[in-house]
Structure 1
Amino acid sequence: MVMRTVSISWETVHRHGEAWISHHRLRYRMFVERQGWSVPHFECMEYDEFDTPAATYILVIDEHDQALGTARLIPTTRPYMVESLWPNLVEGLLPHSDQVWEASRFGCDRALGAGGRRRVIGRLIQACQEFGVAHGITSYLGVMPSWVFQNVIAAHGCPVQPLGPAMSMHGHAIEAASIEVSPAVLDLVRARTGLRQALQDAELPKVGAASLSPSLAGGVRPEQNRLATVATTTLVSAP
């Protein structure tokens, strides 16, 4: 299957109309149908109050512009989910900085096979790092099941720092955590995915061979990560 990874904002959505609509349908399948969340939806499309012009969407799409994976990024200088819904998950001050963004609505299509899900998740994680490095972001704030932070995000090379106590939600131990963003972390993620570059349409700094690991400098190799948890479970962020 051919996969592309794109970033979409309200300013660029006119170039990705089918992918944009498809991603809302994917969110409906992931979070309303499969997870049973009580969140707004209309005609099999899920949305919430944080889908605003401040949001950027990282999408993995197929050759027909159908969304296979999704992540939503929002600067913490604007209203964001953790601040509005679960401030108690963060001990200390909540971030309000252009350098700290919230990552939410993270997941992939459960209909994909195990290998396809691994590829999609790897692309999402790498694309979020690429977007972050290109836009001066130093960390993402996320709320997810604890096992996702450890077995998926951290396992791809991203340092994860829990920010407060966990709570039970939808049968999972949910927690807020900070995910480091940096060129060094991006190199670690590249080493695990085998991708030289995931995002194709964002303003990204040029990547020279010198910044890649020796095994990647010659080109793209097959993706290597084989996480059993990704192979068997659809990844989700909290509603």
Structure 2
Amino acid sequence: MQTTTISFTNMHTHGELFANVLRARRQSFIVQNNWDLPQAEGMEFDQYDTPASRWVAVHERGEVLAGIRLTPTTARCGIYSYMIRDAQRGILGGSIPKHLLFDEAPVDEHVWESSRVFVSHAVPMGVRRKVHAELIAGLNQAARELGATRHLGLINANWPRWYRRCGMEGEAMGPVLNFDDGEFQVVATNLVQKLH
């Protein structure tokens, strides 16, 4: 099992990995979750898949097991910045509630957003926890290498339980919200408490 951070500047060195991440996202979000998202040629993508972002992939023998996208909170592309901020500003058409944060969404070069988190449904239950741990370790390492001291994510509201298991420190940045058949909350992860 390998964990790779992909960018627009290095994707050519990883063969089909980036395309396979987008294919796995389509399988996870469009096929399995039945979300109405943009897709083309068997791949899911959106307005945040730009050269400003990075993608962390856990993969084995060409198969993408899990993935996540990192986007700087300073990103700009047309009217878009990053998903959490754009939801708060009301430009996502209400697919994510506007009141997802207690305060104004940060715009800070040391804060990145994590989004499009998935673990493939094909990953057997016996190795799912290991794959998830690899993904989180890869996310935290990639974010630190990008100069982040924190990353934000809209994640399942049961985060306090698994954050402790992963040795992570998080802080609720907004209320628990009920949408898309689940409870979610914006959480900021502190990346400076443990640098190993």
| Max Rg structure | 1
Where in structure 2 are the equivalents of 1:20-39 lying within 5 Å? 20-39=18-37
In 1, the alpha carbon distance for the partners of 2:85 and 2:186 equals: 11
In 1, the alpha carbon distance for the partners of 2:103 and 2:183 equals: 20
- 2:149 paired with 1:138: yes
Residues 49 and 154 of structure 1, relative CA distance in 2, 3 Å threshold: farther
Residue 16 of structure 2: SS of its match in structure 1? helix
Q: Which residue of 2 aligns with 1:155?
A: 165
In 2, the alpha carbon distance for the partners of 1:152 and 1:27 equals: 22
Q: Which one has a larger percent helix, Structure 1 or Structure 2?
A: 1
- 2:185 paired with 1:185: no
Which sits farther off after the overlay, 85-94 or 15-24?
A: 85-94
Where in structure 2 are the equivalents of 1:57-96 lying within 5 Å? 57-63=55-61, 65-78=62-75, 79-86=81-88, 87-96=98-107
Residues 153 and 39 of structure 1, relative CA distance in 2, 3 Å threshold: farther
Residue 88 of structure 1: SS of its match in structure 2? coil
Q: Which amino acid aligns with 2:194?
A: V
In 2, the alpha carbon distance for the partners of 1:27 and 1:98 equals: 27
Return the offset for 1:142.
0.3
Identity %: 29
Q: Which residue of 2 aligns with 1:212?
A: none
Unaligned runs of 5+ in 2: 76-80, 89-97
- 2:111 paired with 1:100: yes
Check the 8 A contact 1:137/1:181 in 2, yes or no: yes
Q: Which residue of 1 aligns with 2:41?
A: 43
Check the 8 A contact 1:154/1:160 in 2, yes or no: no
In 2, the alpha carbon distance for the partners of 1:22 and 1:5 equals: 14
In 2, the alpha carbon distance for the partners of 1:169 and 1:75 equals: 25
Compute the TM-score of the two structures, normalised by the length of structure 2: 0.87
Q: Which residue of 2 aligns with 1:222?
A: none
In 1, the alpha carbon distance for the partners of 2:135 and 2:124 equals: 17
Q: Which residue of 1 aligns with 2:133?
A: 122
Q: Which residue of 2 aligns with 1:224?
A: none
Q: Which amino acid aligns with 1:153?
A: Y
Check the 8 A contact 2:4/2:57 in 1, yes or no: yes
Q: Which residue of 1 aligns with 2:11?
A: 13
Q: Which residue of 2 aligns with 1:172?
A: 182
Residues 30-89 of structure 1, C-alpha deviation per residue, up to 9 Å, x if partnerless? 1111111111112321111110110000001112x2211101001100110001124521
In 2, the alpha carbon distance for the partners of 1:17 and 1:85 equals: 33
Residues 5-41 of structure 1, C-alpha deviation per residue, up to 9 Å, x if partnerless? 1000011111123111111111011111111111111
In 1, the alpha carbon distance for the partners of 2:124 and 2:179 equals: 27
Residues 132-178 of structure 1, C-alpha deviation per residue, up to 9 Å, x if partnerless? 2333211111001201x223334211111111112211111111111
Q: Which has the higher contact order (CA 8 A, sep 6+)?
A: 1
Check the 8 A contact 1:125/1:153 in 2, yes or no: no
Check the 8 A contact 2:70/2:143 in 1, yes or no: no
